[in-house]
């Protein structure tokens, strides 16, 4: 891959990341019963990965008067509004393009994040990761002005919501109102389902496109390059937040100076852990230390030998054992779709 993180010679070791997206309250429902209620929103999963990885970040998020969670990064409270709430139904049939999946409904929405809510300072990386329509085109424009590189989750751009029941629908990226800004971003992340709503061939000429595909790993598209990044084996319990944790891991890798495919492999690593949990995972400290050591080892390899840049097998093999040091989490009930595991 030719797209690399911005130069670091004038930046501190812990590079600053700006995360923009609202916290949410997620309600998981199966067979008519509430299975779990958890802190949600892409920003929460991403900040969990960055904080656990000791990457300095600032988060801009809005919540309502009813926000009930203790979080490391305090949100902006809008007293007259309720916190954004999503209900995820695991037994209602198919998603927006005909695949068995969760059916998401936005029950309530807090206020959007305005350009005036974004701090007037510079950041090395920006992450536009709204889930409920809270990212505005003018807010993304402010982000690209103050951040050296901006990574965008396509769900922040193409989600729309049924006015009657709040069901999540997707629109084509060209019709989203954001298309005119996208030549200024560095990375666009989409799931394999969401990728149907953009022209990958067109977008890869504008920025680095990363398409995740669950248990199949992910693919990176940039200019004339296409790279497949392998997955990590995981027993899926709940897919909520897996793509967010992937994006968090990707940015952690970029902050640490990894090449894009290696950073995406780190994203696959964190995503694979998240799918094994309901809600946010609590990452094992020994695992995190092992990951940090392997990231530093990989950086040294990359600096010493160009031949290591395209060989991910060793990096994957050395990261894999770290996953299985995460043994302190209780076994959780697997959510099913139409009686089947909701694997993607």
Q: Are strands 147-153 and 187-191 parallel, antiparallel or unpaired?
A: parallel
As beta bridge partners, residue 151 has 127, 187
- 153 carries an active-site annotation: no
The tokens for 41 are 């929103």
Longest dimension (CA), the chain: 58
Are the C-beta atoms of 218 and 210 separated by less than 8 Å? yes
CA-angle at 343, arms to 243 and 68, nearest 5° = 50
Residues 6+ away with beta carbon under 8 Å from 51 = 57, 72
CA-angle at 63, arms to 57 and 67, nearest 5° = 105
Nearest by Cα to 132 from 153, 161, 103, 174: 161
User: Mutual orientation of helices 260-274 and 242-255 as an angle, nearest 10°?
Assistant: 140
The rounded distance, in Å, linking the Cα atoms of 60 and 20 is 5
Are the C-beta atoms of 324 and 317 separated by less than 8 Å? no
Nearest by Cα to 241 from 62, 38, 35, 20: 38
From 244, 262, 311, 343, the catalytic residue: 244
The rounded distance, in Å, linking the Cα atoms of 323 and 249 is 14
Check residue 48 and report its DSSP letter: H
Are the C-beta atoms of 312 and 320 separated by less than 8 Å? no
Nearest by Cα to 30 from 213, 249, 328, 238: 238
**Would the CA dihedral through 137, 46, 161, 338 be positive or negative?**
positive
The owner of tokens 């061939």 is 201
Question: Which positions are catalytic?
Answer: 244
């Amino acid at each position: 891959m030719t797209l690399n993180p911005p130069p670091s010679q004038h930046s501190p070791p812990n590079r600053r990341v700006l995360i923009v997206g609202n916290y949410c309250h997620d309600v998981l429902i199966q067979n008519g019963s509430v299975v779990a209620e958890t802190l949600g929103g892409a920003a929460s999963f991403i900040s969990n990965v960055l904080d656990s990885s000791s990457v300095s970040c600032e988060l801009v998020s809005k919540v309502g008067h009813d926000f009930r969670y203790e979080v490391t990064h305090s949100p902006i409270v809008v007293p007259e509004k309720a916190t954004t709430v999503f209900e995820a139904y695991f037994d209602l049939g198919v998603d927006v393009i005909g695949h068995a999946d969760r059916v998401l409904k936005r029950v309530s929405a807090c206020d959007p994040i305005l350009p005036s809510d974004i701090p007037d300072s510079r950041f090395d990386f920006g992450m536009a990761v709204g889930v409920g329509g809270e990212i505005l085109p003018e807010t993304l424009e402010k982000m690209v002005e103050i951040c050296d590189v901006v990574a965008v989750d396509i769900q922040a751009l193409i989600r729309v919501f049924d006015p009657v029941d709040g069901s999540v629908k997707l629109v084509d990226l060209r019709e989203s109102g954001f298309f005119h800004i996208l030549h200024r971003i560095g990375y666009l992340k989409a799931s394999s389902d969401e990728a149907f709503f953009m022209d990958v061939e067109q977008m890869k000429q504008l920025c680095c496109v990363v398409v995740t595909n669950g248990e199949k790993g992910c693919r990176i598209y940039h200019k004339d390059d296409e790279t497949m990044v392998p997955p990590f084996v995981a027993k899926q319990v709940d897919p909520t937040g897996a793509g967010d944790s992937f994006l968090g891991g990707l940015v952690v890798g970029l902050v640490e100076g990894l090449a894009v495919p290696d950073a995406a492999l780190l994203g696959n690593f964190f995503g694979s852990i998240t799918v094994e949990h309901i809600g946010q995972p609590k990452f094992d400290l020994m695992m995190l230390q092992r990951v940090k050591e392997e990231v530093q080892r990989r950086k040294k390899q990359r600096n010493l030998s160009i031949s290591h840049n395209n060989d991910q097998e060793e990096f994957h093999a050395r990261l894999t054992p770290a996953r299985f040091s995460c043994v302190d989490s209780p076994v959780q009930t697997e959510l099913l779709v139409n009686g089947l595991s909701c694997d993607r």
